Every structure is written in C-alpha cells, then in structure tokens.
Amino acid sequence: MHRYVIKRILLLIPVIIGVSFMIYFIMDLAPGDIITQLVGEDASEEQIAALQHEYGYDRSVFYRYGKYMLGLLHGDLGTSYITKKPVWDMYITRLPKTFWLAIGASVVAIGLSIPLGIVSAVKSGSLIDNSCMVLALLGLSMPNFWLGLLLIIEFSLNLGWVPSGGFRGFSSVILPAITIGTGHMAVMTRTTRSSMIDVIRQDYLRTARAKGVSEHKVITKHAFRNAFIPILTIIGGQLCAGIGGAVITESVFSWPGVGRLIIDYVHQRDVPVVTGSIIMTTIITGVIHLAVDLLYAVVDPRIKGKYSRKGLRLAPRVKTKRGAA
Amino acid sequence: MKKAIITILCLLLVSAFVFAGGSNEGAAASAAPKYKEAVVCADGSQITTGDPQSINNLQHNRLFKCSHNTLVSYNSAAAVYEPELATSWEWSSDLLTLTLKLRDDVTFQNGEKFTANDVKYSYERIMGMNSTASSKFVGVLDHVEVVDDYTVKLVLVSPNVDWLDTLALPLASIVNQKAIEADPLKGPWVGTGMWIITDLEEGDFVHMVKNDNYWGGTTPTRELTLRYISESSARLIALQNGEVDVCIGPASTEKGFIEEDPTLELIEIPSATCCYFAFNTSKGPGADENLRLALAHCINYEDVILGASSGEGTRAITNWGPATYGYYDGFGDYTYDLALAKEYLAKSAYKTLTISVKDSARLRAAQVIQANAKEIGLTINIEELEAAALTAKSAFKTAEHESMIYTLGWNSYGDDASRAYGKNSNTNKATLSDDRVMELLKLARECTDDAQRKSYYAEIQTLNHEHAWYIPLFYTELSVAVNKGVSGVIWEGHQSHDYSNIVVSI
Amino acid sequence: MREKNTLVSRQYRKRSRAGEVWHRLKKNKGAMIGLGIIVLLALIAILADVLVDYDTQVIGMTLKDRLQHPSKAHIMGTDDLGRDIFARLLYGSRFSLSVGVVAVAIAVVVGVILGAFAGYYTGGIVEDIIMRATDIFAAVPNMLMAIVIVAALGANTLNLMISVGVTSIPQFVRTTRAAVLTVTGQEYIESARAIGESETKIIFKHILPNCLSPIIVRVTLRVSSAIISASSLSFLGLGVPAPAPEWGSMLSSGRAYLRGYSYMTLFPGLAIMITVLAFNMVGDGLRDAMDPKLKK
C-alpha cells in the first residue's frame, strides 16, 4: 500500500515537468510582451533594456525556463512579474475559496444526481426515467453565466436570502455552487443510473429480495453500495475540475478563486503566475486522484489486495494475451 | 374562517403602525445625524497592490488617495494646486528648481515622523523602480536636495510647467523607508493618509481602518472597504441589496432600476474620458491621409454613441480633454458626407482596414463604424484582442496595428497631451512622430505665457483635424450609483475619486 | 481460405450489429427527438444563406431600432446595435455547429490514431510516450488549457476550433486505447498477424473498425461539450470575431442588458441549451443501444 502511494506520487514528477514545460513555453512565446506591460506609456530605451535584463528577456526562453525550474526545485513557484509577489502567496490565498466552491459544487451535484440516478434506474425505461435524464441534461446545457445571473436576480435581489457575490462565508457559496453543480449533474446522474442498472440485475439482489429485505433497503443499502465505485470516480474528476477554477462562474459571482487568478494573468502575460498556479493545480489534482483510488479500497475491500500485490501498476489495466509486437 | 383571516390581517396592520410609530419616535429622539461605521465601495476593476509608486491607474489611485499623501494636490473644482504635505512652494527664476516647505506635524501610520528625508527617499525610489510610474520622473527630475528637516528642493532636468501636476499624482505619494526595509511587500502600504490598509486580497477587496492619528482631520466612518465586482449587473444588485454603498459605472441600460429605487441616487460626473479612433500613421492604410479623411466623413457619430454607450456620451470635436488645459475646437467637426468620403476613398489605394479593439463598448463602436464604412465601399475587419496583446501590438516602437479605438482619460494639465501626441509614448496610438507636433509640445512645456501656451496646443489640435491622425468620437458619460446617504466624496472627471472623507448617513 | 471466411462472417456480423443498434435507437424517443433536432439544425446551418441575408439582416444594423422587445417585425427582438436576433441566431448555427464539429474532428483524428498505437504497442516505449503525453495534457483543466492556447495563438474561429480540439484529445486517446486493448487479444487479430499483414493495416483495417462504438458515443457527447467550451471562450471574448453571430458572443453581448432586456440572452441561451441537449440525448441513446448489458 505504502509503496503504491509513493510510486504514484513519484509518477507525478514527470507530469509536473511536462505541464510546466508546455505552459511556460506557450505563455512565453505568446504574442504580447511583458516588458511593454511593465514599463508602460513612456519608458526610455535604457529602462526597457534594464528590465529585459532583469527578467532574462535578453536571453533565450530556455534560459528563462531553466531558471524557473531551478527555483521550482527549491520549492519556489516564482515571483509575479506584475505584482512582484511570490506566486505561492498569490495562489494560496485563492485556493481555500476555490476549494470551498469545488466542495460545494460536488455536494450540489451529488445531492441532486444520486437520487435522480437511482430513481431513473429503478424506473428504468419509464417516463419518470426519461424526465430525470432530461432534467439532469438541462443543468449541463444551461450556460453557466446565464444561470448564475438568473440565480443572483432571484435569490439575492428579489428574495434577499444570500449575498450577490464575493466570498462572504457559507451563504455566499450556495449560488455559485448550484451554478457549477448543476453543470456536473448530467454525467453523474447518468453514471449513477447505469451502474445502478448493472447492479440491480445481479443475482445477490434477487437473493436479498427473496430473503424478504424491503425494496427500499435493497436499493439504498445493497445496490447503491456496489454501484458507488464508478460514481466515486466521477466525483473525484469533478473535484479536480473544480480545483482548476471555474472562470465564468467566478467572474459572475466575483469569486476570488484560482480560475480568475489564472485568466487575469494569462491576459497580462505573467508567465510565472500562470505556470506556477497550473503546476499547483496539477499537483492537487494528482493527489485527489490518488485519494479517490485509495477510497476504492475502503468502499470495496477486494481492490485493496490489488494495490498491494501489483503495487507498481498505475491503475488496473486490461490484460492482453499478446506477446512482443 | 374568513372572519378569522380578516381579524388577523387587521391585527397585523395595527401592530405595523404601532411599530412604525415607535421607530419614528426613536429617530426623532436622536437628533444628531448617524453614520455608518463601515462603508463599502464597489468597482469593476481590481486592485492588485498597495504600493502607490508601482502603478498608475484609476482604481489604485482611488485607494492611494485614502492611504497616502502627496506633497501638493490639485483641486479640480477650483482649478488650483493646494498644499497637502507641503505648506508652500516656490519656483526658481529659471524654472529648474522647486523649493517646498513641509508640514512638521505629520507622522506615518507606523509612528515614524515625516521629514524631508522621506520625500528624498520616496522620489528616489520611484526613479529606481522601472515601472509605469517611474517614467513620469525619469528624465524630468534630476535630483532631490534636503535643505533641512522641513524644506526640500527638487531640481529638474529641463523646465517643466506641469511638474506640480506630476507631484499631485498618487504615484508621487510619500512612503516610509523603515517600513519598506522591514517588509518589502507590505511596507509600501504605510503612508501618512487618513486610512490604514489592513488587508488586501487581490481580486476581492482592500480593507482599511481609520487612522486616528491622522494630521488632517477626522471622519465618523471607521472602516472603508474597496470591493471588486467585475460584472456590472452583479455590482448594481450588490448596491440594491445594501451590500455596498457605492457602485462605479452601472450599466447604462440598468439606470432605470436606480431611479425606481428610493434609497439610491445616480451621480453624473462631467467626463474627461475621450473615445477616439486612432490610425497607425507610420505604415499601411493608416499612413494614407485620403483613407483617414474618407473614414472621418463617413462615420455616423450619433450612431456610434448610440451603439457604443446607449447614446450616453457627447460628441467630441477634438482629441483633447474637455476640461484639459488648452482645449480648442475652433475648426468645427467632420461633416457626415458620403459623397465627400467616397471622393477621398477614390484617391486612396487602400480599400480595407483592420480595427483592433479590446472591450465590449469599443467593440460595439467598431461594429457601427464597420457598417458605416461599408456604405462607401471600405471594408473593415475587426480584430478582437485582449488587453496585453493589444498593448504590445500598438506599442510605439513596434506598432503593428492598422487602426484601433482607444479611450483616454485626460488629466487637467496641458502636457498630458504628450501621452497622445508625444514621440515614444505608448499611448500615442497613432504612432505619430510629426516634427511640428513634437516641437509644439516642447514649446508649450517650457512656456509660462498663458495665451502663447494655449496657441501651441490649439495648433496641435488643428493639425490633427486637418490630417485626421485621430478621429475624435465621443466623451463617455460617467455615472456612479450610490446609496442616498453617501456624501463627502470628491468625484473627478478623470475618475480618480477621493473617498477619504466618505460618510453614509443612516 | 479459412481467414477469408472469418473476414466475411465478420463483415456480416458488423452490418447486422449496426442494424441492431439503429433498431434499438429508434425505440428511444429521446434519442430520436435529439436526432431530429440535430438534423434540423444542420439544415438551418447549411441553408443559412438562403434563409437570411448576411449583409442586410445578420450584420446590417439600424441603430434607431435597437433593443426592441420581440414583436411581429422582429420575432426575437433586436440587439444593442439594432440587429434582428432571430436572423443572427439562424446564421449563428453555422458557427456554433461547425466549431463543435471541427474541434471534435481534430480531436478524433489525432486522439484515435495515438490511442490505437498506444493500445496496440502496449507495454512498449510507444505506449509510454503517448500515454504520458496524454497524462500531461489531461492534467491541465480543459478550460484553462483552451484559454492559454487561444491567448497564445490569437482569437479567431480557426484557433478557437484548435484550442477546443486539442483539449479534447486526451479523452479520445484513452477511450480508443481501452477499446483497442479489448479487441487486440481476439483471435482474428492473431490470425491476421499470422498471415503476415502489416501492423498499420491490422490497426486500421481490423482493429479500429471493431472499436467504433465507444468512440462514436464519445464523439456525440464531446460535440456538445465542445459547443459549450466554444461559447464559453466566445463569452470571454476569445472566440469568433465580431460581427459574426456566434451564440456564445451573442450571449456575452447581452450580459449588460440581462435585467431589462432579458430576451437578448434568452434566445442564444436557449439555442445553446437545445443543441447541447440534442447531442447529449443522441449520445446517451447510442450508448444504451450499443451496450448489450443494458438490453432488456
């Protein structure tokens, strides 16, 4: 088990290097030049030259990337070109807000889609099933900004129940969480439905029913527990997507999250902020995926054995009979 | 059943009257006006730093006017310079040295005493900063001499009549050396102003508490927060909900909601912001005067104002601030004349033009102009760029744009024109390097005779009208929605409002 | 000789399978409605030039008629520049559909080829390189990746398609690889190899055709999320340049008018919603029809 965890964490390193390389180069080579941004309207040539030297823009992009990665090796995510603040500080003040929003969105998505999924699985093929699925899809198809503003007008302006935006305690999470959460509903409801259908038809449920266990208990306890693994994967995936920030929802709700941090600085060509924040997102995402995989073992003890025996495999892969190509 | 309901309703009504009466009495009892302790102002642009010398833009200027002080300040209502940290000042006869006497009763928010050394430290810090702010100082200020604790001499490189204006800008705020050396990031937050910055969360808010040791008076407000709300609809809703007290720039289509709401008030500010069309005159189609004049005569200016800002704006005749020193419009406007425009276009080799724009109002203006130009057979392509890309593309030395729509907030002093017309200025979106214009700018900068100076500026504007380097479009209308109790704010046409004495009565 | 027989019987099997899927799909009302909507939208997109005149109706503006509520003259009202929203919506189907379809086409071509190689040369260096590169791409959240790419390339229709397409590649690599892995072990592949067919031929002729169903399902679903991504990018000003009537940018230009003139966002919002819904319903229907486990 330990070896598996360590191996998985080590495997993150090449991904981080790859991600940082890709983002750094795209950002650095994008049109739009940070030096003009910094010195502004009427800078002299000497000023520009001095700045170019300071930021390494008199050398090649490889030099700048190398310097950045050297810093990263010492745990330094870099310093913003624009604000001169450490990227770590900028990221870490945003992370909790993004984190709460991601959690909130997952809670909304789970709360709405698991009941919907179970109902449509139980009533599979009926009108109820179809309406549940359409309802779930509506959440996905409604553009986030539109839904967001409609929610603000109704619940904040007309009813005055919650603040209109910003990070102001628990109540302020509700509307943006609904906006994002309903977007996740479709996939989660569909997954719940199909894995429930898989499970419902299996023999041991028939046995349970035969033994006189109530239908309600059969569904909620026996079936759902076994259908939970695919759902867990989706929840993990959506948490990860949430950690990267939701740019549009964040700007509708003036939410000071990671998404807006990144897009603001993409616009300003602040390479260290963008690269550093995306590296952090990658690391956190990797850890969440690992946590989800470990949770499988909790939900289904059979999986635990797999991890310790074949601890070196990334994920269970399909076996093939093929020899060398 | 019905009776019961009616009885309940009556009881409710009666109790409502009783409670309402009670509260009225309470209000009457405390005759002295009551003020909110914590005031919140919302804006659509975010504040990223508390260092006044590192940046020069509207939303930051509003912050620094609260937290820091400059040596002098400009009173735009009376059009005079007023003492702030300096009590008096005097120019030498060659206009190269400015000697200022300083206040001796000022302390910084960290308890340090304010002296002439702080002025020297602050200005030298700007000069070494290599930022957008420093370019206002580098090449203008030669050095700072400390005469005694409360006297300071500023020696300039060449005469500059507008130097006091630079000193009045928030970027020339006085900062404290000890604070900055102790903490390079938060040290610059420490100023001598009425408000102490306690918390700054980028992309969210800046929180300030009142400086009880402030040298310049007091206010009943205890806390002041500047909040960033990017969507204009959400910003107005926050105001309607009472979450904020000031909402900068409500959407023009939503002004009806402000009028409907008895607790809100709309403040209209005469604007100094000019929206204009700029050709890149250094190369390509923009270098062709016939094409420029063709466009100037085919634009339907009323439609542009209608499309870009719902009709809320006034047509601009010249590319100059309406309240800026040296304003001149004696040459009249470009007539809307399609035949004339076609004539000019026939003489031009170019039949297509690309407009680069960034935000939505300019994008709408560009679409109207695109439709106008189609009438005379001129094809216009619109290129939507983000701010960074557009700034880089239109930078003076490396300008690649063909034309663009730009808005410039004009300051009150004359030399502000060198931003739009001066060589090497990155706001010179026409990439103009006309010799006569450069000469005129220099002459005006060094001239002390009022009439003479104005004639230089009038000539620049006349030249622009003849050559149509810039086609002035309109002055944007500025409005601010506020809670009705708000007072004490100095609203400025260039939008760097002064919130320091804001109060909200309740 | 024996080989030929298996091939023939496989061909037969495949055809009947497609027929069977269609048969099952036809019974799914949701999927058929979705399919109907898609066909209708495709027709509108193709015939857009016939239905409305681009110069006068779609981009032609009458400023004095701006912000008119829906009426007989303008059944969906006019926008902030006095353009007919209905005409723009019809023409906009072209941009929104083509961005979605082309983006996914880019992703399918690249993703399926890479996925097939990764699945076929499993355990080797080819698989490692492809899958690690996929991991790297997938590690960055889609929307952020797309924003960074558009910012780098510049905002226009083609770059919009590329950025949305590139962010969809990892999914197709993974889906294809998984499908190829299950097929590769089967006997007819072994026999094809035994008679010395080239590797490329085996992959493209024998393996991929048998992996189609998960890929087709993925394509349908992905088109819908591509449409959403594209309209989100347009909403952020990173999409199709003005005055082209892309739905996302129509939505974006209506954001300042939402409270007084909600129809400006209502119709493009509904258009996006209906399109996405249609693709999803077809995708879901296909998934059910192709998955024998869900057979009654």
Domain boundaries, chain C: 98-295
d(CA A273, CA A268): 10
* Rounded CA separation C116/C158 (Å): 27
Band the pLDDT of B101: cuts 50, 70, 90: very high
Q: What is the pLDDT along chain A (325 residues), one digit of tens a residue?
A: 688 888 888 888 888 999 999 999 988 887 766 776 676 655 667 777 877 888 888 888 898 899 899 988 888 888 888 888 899 999 999 999 999 999 999 999 989 988 888 888 888 777 888 888 888 888 887 878 788 888 888 888 888 888 888 888 888 899 999 999 988 888 888 888 888 887 777 767 777 777 777 777 777 777 777 777 778 888 888 888 788 778 888 888 888 889 888 888 888 888 999 999 999 998 998 888 888 888 877 776 666 655 554 444 444 443 333 333 2
Distance from A42 to chain B by nearest Cα, in Å? 4
Q: Are residues A147 and A219 in the same domain?
A: yes
* Token code pair at residue B487: 């007072």
Domain that holds residue A257: 87-309
* Same domain assignment for residues A173 and A227: yes
| Alpha carbon distance B406, A91 (integer Å) | 33
CB distance from C104 to chain A under 8 Å? no
- Residue A62: inside a domain, yes or no? yes
Give B342→chain A minimum CA distance, Å: 36
Q: Which of B104, B117, B115, B120 is nearest to B155 (CA)?
A: B120
Considering the domain C98-295 in this protein, what is its CATH number? 1.10.3720.10
Residue A79 maps to a domain: no
User: Do A163 and A55 fall into the same domain?
Assistant: no
- Using a CB–CB cut-off of 8 Å, the residues of C that contact B are 55, 59-61, 63-64, 66-67, 80-82, 151, 154-155, 237-238, 241-243, 252-253, 255-261
Please state, in angstroms and rounded to a whole number, the distance separating the CA atoms of residues C189 and C183: 8
State how far the Cα of C65 lies from the Cα of C69, in Å rounded to an integer: 10
Are A127 and A230 in the same domain?
Answer: yes
Domain membership of residue A136 (yes or no) is: yes
Asked if B186 has any chain A CB less than 8 Å from its own CB, the reply is no
**Residue-level pLDDT at A304:** 61
Q: Is the CB of A141 less than 8 angstroms away from the CB of C122?
A: no
Name the CA dihedral angle for B283, B289, B291, B295, rounded to a multiple of 10 degrees.
Answer: 120
Q: Which of C66, C81, C155 sits opposite B384 (nearest CB)?
A: C155
Q: What is the pLDDT of residues A36-77, one digit of tens each?
A: 667 665 566 777 787 788 888 888 889 889 989 998 888 888
Average pLDDT over residues B357-371: 86
- Is residue A278 situated within a structural domain? yes
Chain A residues touching residue C224 (CB < 8 angstroms): 140-141
Query: Does A139 share its domain with A174?
Result: yes
Do C118 and C130 contact (CB within 8 A), yes or no?
yes
Rounded average pLDDT over C211-225? 84
Same domain, A42 and A145: no
- Kindly state whether residue A157 falls inside one of the protein's structural domains: yes
The answer to whether residues A156 and A279 belong to one domain is yes
Judge if pTM exceeds 0.90. no
Closest CA to A111 of A14, A54, A209, A192: A192
Strand partners, B475: B274, B314
In a domain, A318, yes or no: no
Q: C95-114: per-residue pLDDT in tens? A: 889 999 999 999 999 999 99
Residue A315 maps to a domain: no
| Among candidate residues B243, B199, B206, B229, the one with its CA nearest the CA of residue B43 | B229
CATH of the domain at A242: 1.10.3720.10
Same structural domain for residues A171 and A292? yes
CB-based contact C67 B253, cutoff 8 Å: yes
User: How far C53 CA lies from chain A's nearest CA (Å)?
Assistant: 28
Q: Which residues of A touch C258 (CB under 8 A)?
A: 149, 153
Question: CB contact, 8 Å: A264 with chain B?
Answer: yes
Please answer whether residues C165 and C107 qualify as being in contact, where contact means their C-beta atoms are separated by less than 8 angstroms: yes
Q: Are residues A168 and A95 in the same domain?
A: yes
CA distance B203 to C189: 58
Domain count, chain A: 2
Say if CB B311 and CB B364 are below 8 A apart: no
End-to-end CA distance of chain A: 32
Which residues of B fall below an 8 Å CB-CB distance to C?
231-233, 251, 253-254, 256-257, 300, 302-303, 306-307, 310, 358-360, 363-364, 366-368, 370-371, 374, 381-386, 389
Q: Establish if C202 touches chain A: CB-CB under 8 angstroms.
A: no
Confidence class for position B4, pLDDT limits 50, 70, 90: low
| One domain, residues A222 and A305 | yes
Q: Give the minimum alpha-carbon distance from A27 to chain B in angstroms, rounded to a whole number.
A: 12
- Does a structural domain hold residue A69? yes
- Tell me, yes or no, whether A274 and A206 share the same domain: yes
Same domain, A64 and A149: no
Closest CA to C86 of C58, C60, C54: C58
Which pair of tokens denotes residue B462? 């006349």
